[in-house]
Structure 1
Amino acid sequence: MSRNIDARGKNCPMPVMMAKKEIEQGGKFFTVQVDNKIAVENLRKFANSQGFEVNVEEANGDFNVKFSNGCEECEEIIAKVENRKPLGDWCVFVNKSTIGIGNEELGQSLMKMFFYTVSESEDYPKAVLFMNDGVKVPTLNDQAAEHLKKLEEAGVELLICGACLDFYELKEKVTVGQVSNMYAILEVMKSAGKVITL
C-alpha cells in the first residue's frame, strides 16, 4: 500500500533523506509531498539513481512526487495469495437453510456459527455448494454470508444452484459466490475426497 510522506516546509536535502529512509525500510510505492520545484528536481534525480520511476502532480502550489518500483497492484495480489490458507480436499453441501431438525431460528443460528467456525479454522474446504432451500444461506442469512465472503476471498469456490435461486426468486439477492448449475456442482462433488452434507 502506498505511503504518504509530508516533507513540505523542509529544506533540501531533508525530502531526499526522507525518501531514502523509506526505500531503506523496503518502501516500493510512496509519495513525497514538497512545496518547491528544487525539491521536486532533487527527488526526481534521487529516484532515477535508485531505479524508481517517478510521477509528479501539482496541486495548490504543492507537489506530490510519487515513487514506484514495480507494479503496486501485482504486489497486493501476491500478498493476498501468499496469505491464503491451503484448501482441503473436501467440500460442504448445503441443501437447507438450517442445521438440524427442530427450531428454525436455532437452525439458522447454527448455520451462521458453522461457517464462522470454518472461516476461523486452519483447514478450508475446496468448495461450498448450495442447493434447494440451502440457497437461502448466502442470500438471506446476512451473518453467514459475511463468513462465506471470507472463505471466497481465500479461494474457496462457492457455487449456488441457479434453478433453485429462480424457484425461490432470490437471484437478485446474491452478494457472495457464483450462480451455477447441477453439472458444475456434481463435478466438484466427484473431485472432492469428502463431501459433508449439512
Structure 2
Amino acid sequence: MTYIDAKGKACPMPVIMAKKELDAGIKQLTIEVDNQTAVENLKRLGASKNCSVAVKNESENFLVVFNNESAEKTLQENIEKPEIPVLPLSGKSPWVLFVGSDGIGSGSPELGHNLMTMLFYTLSQGDNLPQSILFMNGGVKLPTQNEQVVEHLHALQARGCEILVCGTCLNYYGLSEQLKIGTVSNMYDISSRMLTAAKVISF
C-alpha cells in the first residue's frame, strides 16, 4: 500500500499526486488530505480510473484509499471482448494560452494570484500543453515577479511550450530588466499565434 501525505496542499495538487501513482501502475494507494474539497476531487479521480475509493476520517484529516484492482479487471475484460473499431484521433489540436492579468477572476486579488499560480502548476503537470503562452498587460508581472510561476514556466518551456512576453507591456510597467523567462515579443507575433491556433484560452 503506497501512502501520500497531501495535508496542507490545495487542489488540484492531491489529485495530480494521486494520478501520477495510479498512472504508474500502483494498485493500492492511500492519500491523506485535510479538506473535503480534496476528498470529492479524489473520488472523481477514482471514478475516472475505475478504482474503488473508500474514505476514512482520521481526527481532522481524511484518508482516501484507492483500490485499482477493479481497473485491471475492467481492462482485462475489455481485452477479451471484441470491440467496435474506433478511428484514432490524429492528435490534440494546437492551442495557445493568452494571459492578460496576474490573477484569475475578480474579487480577492490574493485569491486570484493563488489561482493563477495553481493554473501554471496544473499545466506543467499535465499532458495537453499549450503550443504557446502569451503574456500581455498585467500578465507580464508573472514571468518577472512571481517566482512560483517562473518555476512552472521553466518546466513548460522544457517540454516544448513557446513563451512570448509583450515588450511594450514590460516597458510600461518598468519590468524590462526583470524578465526571468520567455522571449520579448510584440503585438504582431502574439496576434499571429492567436490567429493561427485551433483554440485560444484567455485569462
Within the alignment, does 1:133 sit opposite 2:138 as a pair? yes
SS in 1 for 2:191: helix
SS in 2 for 1:187: helix
Q: Choose from 169, 173, 183 the match for 1:168.
A: 173
Q: How far did residue 117 of structure 1 move?
A: 0.3
**Residue-by-residue CA offset, 1:32-61 (whole Å, 9 max, x unaligned):** xxxxxxxxxxxxxxxxxxxxxxxxxxxxxx
Distance (whole Å) between structure 2 residues aligned to residue 125 and residue 101 of structure 1 = 24
Q: Choose from 182, 185, 197 the match for 1:177.
A: 182
Aligned twin of 1:115: 120
**Residue-by-residue CA offset, 1:138-164 (whole Å, 9 max, x unaligned):** 111110111011111111010000000
Aligned twin of 2:153: 148
Aligned residues: 113
Q: Choose from 192, 195, 198 the match for 1:193.
A: 198
Q: Runs in 1 of length 4+ with deviation above 6 angstroms?
A: none
Q: How far did residue 87 of structure 1 move?
A: 7.6
Unaligned residue ranges in structure 1 (runs of 5+): 1-85
Letter in 1 for 2:164: L
Letter in 1 for 2:106: I
Q: Choose from 159, 162, 168 the match for 2:164.
A: 159
Letter in 2 for 1:110: L
Give the TM-score, by structure 2 length.
0.54
SS in 1 for 2:104: coil
The residue correspondences of 1:1-198 to structure 2 (distance < 5 A) are 88-198=93-203
Distance (whole Å) between structure 2 residues aligned to residue 183 and residue 120 of structure 1 = 30
**Residue-by-residue CA offset, 1:93-140 (whole Å, 9 max, x unaligned):** 000110010111111110000000001011100000000011001111
